[in-house]
Amino acid sequence: MIAGRHPADFQPLPGFANRHLQTLLPRILPRPALSLVDEILELPDGDFVELTWLDAPTLSAEAPVLVLFHGLEGSVDSPYARHLLRAAERRGWRAVLMHFRGCGKWPNRLPRAYHSGDTADARRLLERLARHYPSAPRVALGVSLGANMLLKLVAEDADNALGLTGAIAVAPPVNLAACADTLERGTARLYQRHLLGALKAKVAPRLVRRELPLALSHGDLGRCTTLRAYDDAITAPLHGFNDAADYYQRAAAAPLLGDIHLPTLILHAEDDPFMPPGLYDGLTLGPGIRLEIARHGGHVGYVEWRNGHPTSWLARRVERQLDEWSERATVSLPAFSQSGN
């Protein structure tokens, strides 16, 4: 994998290059049927996260491991999650998706939720996997909010104490403030409304039950008509930030990208409706980063025409990367090379 900036080889489904069509198409594609197993991971603070594993009882302890982190209000039922888990299964990888707190089947216990810079739970899981599968190549993959979180975690883990072979970040909103502004303009407001609806539906009953340390009424919640307003009123005070601006500044991955040495693939679509044009202009990329930018793709869309039907280019690109890293691990070569694929 050659570091630096590169054009992605994604070609959209003919007639469906539009950013909004690409964003929505994965929701209507057939979702792979998977055999899944759930697990509760208890956390040091008394809370928990829900894990969903591919059921793979015949895999050896040395089989490579893929760890998925979903996007805002995502889950194992998100279309991209199903396709990525299926990609791992096709390549013979063990795979697990970590639901952020409260995003699985059960509400979390503590008066808090999750956010774009919340790396502690992911670190806990990756440390556990390093103990359980010390001889296996281990790759982490984040999508959207989970991708920003993963990039921040990789940057924090400068000496790779987690022992990752590599990381993949799909559509990370590395400049949180700019992305929040983008969602307040034009058609993007429809996505903002959808995300806000999911967030409010989850937090409203907790406010009624007075489970959260917030002086916020149901009417106040209703007046949060943008993600920035929601983060200002709820996300920031719940997680120790002064306000939304403080949260966006401290949780964004953009200022940390130059510190990343771990082999890391970032996939970004220039027409992503969640993000401003030129998101990576002027940003310093660390020596481990390969940034692939596609002209089209929308937000975690990447639907192509292949073998006579629409399918996920994203899953196919991830499969290629998993193959490369597993092959390098098998022949005991470094996971990353500056000079060749």
Geometric angle at alpha carbon 142, from 3 and 127, rounded to 5°: 95
Percent of the chain having pLDDT more than 70? 96
For 186-200, the pLDDT digits (tens) are: 999 999 999 999 999
d(CA 143, CA 294): 16
Where helices occur in the chain by DSSP H, the ranges are 19-24, 79-90, 120-132, 145-156, 176-182, 188-208, 218-222, 227-230, 236-238, 244-251, 313-330
Give bridge partners of residue 169 from the DSSP assignment. Answer: 142, 266
- Rounded to an integer, the average pLDDT of 209-224 is 91
* Position 328 pLDDT exceeds 80: no
Q: What is the pLDDT of residues 148-194, one digit of tens each?
A: 999 999 999 999 999 999 999 999 999 999 999 999 999 999 999 99
Report d(CA 52, CA 71) in Å as an integer. 15
Whether 299 is a known active-site residue: answer: yes
| Catalytic residue (one of 78, 116, 144, 312) | 144
Q: What percent of the chain is modeled with pLDDT above 90? A: 91
| Host H or E run for residue 42 | strand 36-42
Mean pLDDT value of segment 60-70 = 96
Q: Stretch 271-279: mean pLDDT, rounded? A: 97
Which of the four pLDDT bands, split at 50, 70 and 90, describes residue 330? Answer: low
- 247 by Cβ neighbours in 10 Å (0-12 / 13-18 / 19+) ranks as buried
Q: What are the structure tokens assigned to 181, written together?
A: 């502004």
Q: Is the pLDDT of residue 329 over 80?
A: no
DSSP 254: G
Of 83, 99, 296, 299, the catalytic one is 299
pLDDT > 50? residue 335 = no
Q: Is 218 one of the annotated active-site residues of the chain?
A: no
**Band of the pLDDT at 129, cuts 50, 70, 90?**
very high
**77 given a catalytic annotation:** no
Whole-prediction pTM: 0.94
